[in-house]
Structure 1
Amino acid sequence: MSENSPLALPVIDFSRLSGSAQQRKEWLEELGRAAREVGFFYLVNHGIDQQLTDSVQQIARAFFALPQEEKLKVQMANSPHFRGYNLAGVEITRSQPDYREQFDIGAEREALPVTPDAPAWQRMQGPNQWPQALPQLQMLLTRWQHEMTGVALKLLRAFAEALQLPQNAFDELYGALPNEHIKLIRYPGRANNESRQGVGAHKDSGFLTLLLQDDKPGLEVEVRPDEWVAASPLPGSFVVNIGELLELATNGYLRATVHRVVSPQAAQERLSVAFFLGAQLDAVVPVFQLPEALANLAQGPESDPRNPLLREVGWNYLKGRLRSHPEVAQRFYAELIK
């Protein structure tokens, strides 16, 4: 993207949240408008140290540069918690393979006991798999998760304020054991005669997603039915999008927008690092009572018949994971997919 290229998505300056009362009011209106009309925006002046951001990108590249046998030692197929490494083409979106190599981690917690009466979604909680060949990865990504959680929670509470709800309105859903998730993603180049599905069209399932992009394009947002715009890389920013939980909680006032990634051309690659702020697995999403003027603009949540939205957070997350990761589903959740 050249310096003069127009950006198709709004740019939200996070530092204005700490301005005067009038600046804060205007900023909250701008935030709410971006989330309702587009569901995607760039977040700048977010407070995350550039050196940490650079280090996370460097360690992600170092992970993907490991020998294949080292990466396969931590492959997701070993984990009932959907943690670990996947080869390009293993994850599925809308029944087609996504050509992205990736490594997933979540909050580091002990696995819950598997009992006959326990809901299957409890099995998603558990420890991560960490590559022994790159020991610094765990320390750096744990720090990144902590820092990103701080920004995302501050943003989530700003959304509550923009909706004229109490600042802590969503805190109970977030809970003491939230479903935080990091995904390191490498998109290899693809020839024109190959599938260019880096990631198929989808919505994210949590509260908020904050995406760190490199300088390669590929992310596209469906702003209106069948109208796609590029979320071109903007240095120093995160691309933020609304997840299904906020769409459900606001009866569709806030918009979880469909998006996809188009693979780079052959001989190129694209790297991104996604942070997902989610809710506690045992939470059930209510519909929050918005002021009448806002409630009248809510259009109800959009539910894809192929991927219906569920208010039970654990089941909603598990449904998506089972569909996307058939190897893990067959190995650890066979009773659910018969």
Structure 2
Amino acid sequence: MSQDIPVLDLGPFLAGDPDALEATAAQLRRTNETVGFLYIANHGVPQELIDRTFAAAAAFHAQPIETKMELKVDAAMQGYLPMRGSTTRSSTINANNKPNENEAFFLKREDQTGVANRWPTVPGFREAATAYYDALEGLAQRILPLYARALELPADYFDEKCSRPFSSLRLSHYPPVQEYDENQFGIAPHTDSTFITLLAQNKVPGLQIRRADGVWIDAPVLEGTFIVNTGDILNRWTNGRFLSTPHRAFNISDQPRYAIPYFFHPNSETVIECLPTCRAAGEEAKFPTQTVGEYMAWFRGRNYDHIRKAAAEAEAAKAAQAAAAE
């Protein structure tokens, strides 16, 4: 068991124990104010479904690059992101990062993006990924009362704000890299954009988190748990009270590493502004008021090369039109 990352047992709360909401929320509060990462046990997601989703990710990434590129990621961040297709620029933890040594397939809620997911022809892929997405969305919504009570808010405070989550599932592949160059990572030091992130345990370790004292520590593999971390949206909502902890990933093993993180966000139109329980009288809000959609547009524009390129091309075209009109 990790001495730095606490384990939160969700069993009593999810079983409806009348005393578990407040007791579990108190543990969650302490962890999010001091660590920002935790393991959750007895979460209710079947291990068979988790295993099937890992297998689907491996099967997708085993395809030829030409086949995967037929589903190349679009402006809505749905589809295949090629190897080194992202560069972490949104965090100041590590400067001059090289492109990330991973590839990924993204899927999202179509009613939030307005764009249909495009599916590979890998047998069983769509069924596994869809079932896993639905299971993780359901779990995230079931534990919202814990976060509300951890912040001294009514238990249903976040329910309506997260009723149509602007979330995504990322099926990632980290190839073995025996020795990384300077400023090169499987994924560079960063904080997530999310309300929370749910990460299933991987048989191949590689995740590291940065403690408050600046020391990087390995996140041990605890079978049967998820790793959960606070993201930037909840950090901003709480005026920095709940930590969005930097983390990074490597794969220095001799085998491929797969990761299937689910990134849980509130509805795209939900406004993120300092919560009433997270600012003392007279204290200024530390972050600007934004909708989830506005924040995510900024985040994607910083980190994903195809979106940066499209924005630069649009700016160039706009400037050319202005020059021609003079």
Q: Same fold (TM over 0.5)?
A: yes
Distance 1:178 1:193 in 2: 36
Pick from 292, 305, 311 the counterpart of residue 313 of structure 1: 292
Distance 2:252 2:188 in 1: 14
The runs of 5 or more residues in structure 1 that have no matched partner are 111-123, 304-308
Q: How many residues align?
A: 306
Q: TM-score, normalised by structure 2?
A: 0.85
- 3-state secondary structure, aligned to 1:89: coil
Partner of 1:223: 211
Q: Does 1:127 align with 2:127?
A: no
Pick from 146, 153, 167 the counterpart of residue 165 of structure 1: 153
Pick from 258, 265, 273 the counterpart of residue 286 of structure 1: 273
Q: CA deviation at 1:311?
A: 2.5
Pick from 7, 10, 15 the counterpart of residue 11 of structure 1: 7
The runs of 5 or more residues in structure 2 that have no matched partner are 90-96, 320-326
302 and 264 in structure 1: CA distance in 2 versus 1, 3 angstrom threshold: farther
Partner of 1:82: 77
Distance 1:53 1:154 in 2: 18
10 and 194 in structure 1: CA distance in 2 versus 1, 3 angstrom threshold: same
Q: CA deviation at 1:231?
A: 1.1
Q: TM-score, normalised by structure 1?
A: 0.83
Partner of 1:118: none
Query: Deviation digits for residues 66-120 of structure 1, max 9, x if unmatched?
Result: 12221111111xx12111112221111134211012111111248xxxxxxxxxx
Distance 1:89 1:10 in 2: 33
Distance 1:301 1:259 in 2: 25
Q: Does 1:323 align with 2:302?
A: yes
Q: CA deviation at 1:302?
A: 7.4
Aligned residue type for 1:171: D
Q: Once the two structures are aligned, what percentage of the paired residues are identical?
A: 28
Q: CA deviation at 1:295?
A: 5.2
Aligned residue type for 1:259: H
269 and 8 in structure 1: CA distance in 2 versus 1, 3 angstrom threshold: farther
Paired residues of 2:209 and 2:248 also in contact (CA < 8 A): yes
Distance 2:246 2:180 in 1: 25
82 and 24 in structure 1: CA distance in 2 versus 1, 3 angstrom threshold: closer
Partner of 2:94: none
Partner of 1:96: 98
Paired residues of 1:251 and 1:300 also in contact (CA < 8 A): no
Partner of 2:220: 232
Distance 2:238 2:300 in 1: 24
Paired residues of 1:178 and 1:280 also in contact (CA < 8 A): yes
Aligned residue type for 2:85: V
Paired residues of 1:156 and 1:170 also in contact (CA < 8 A): yes
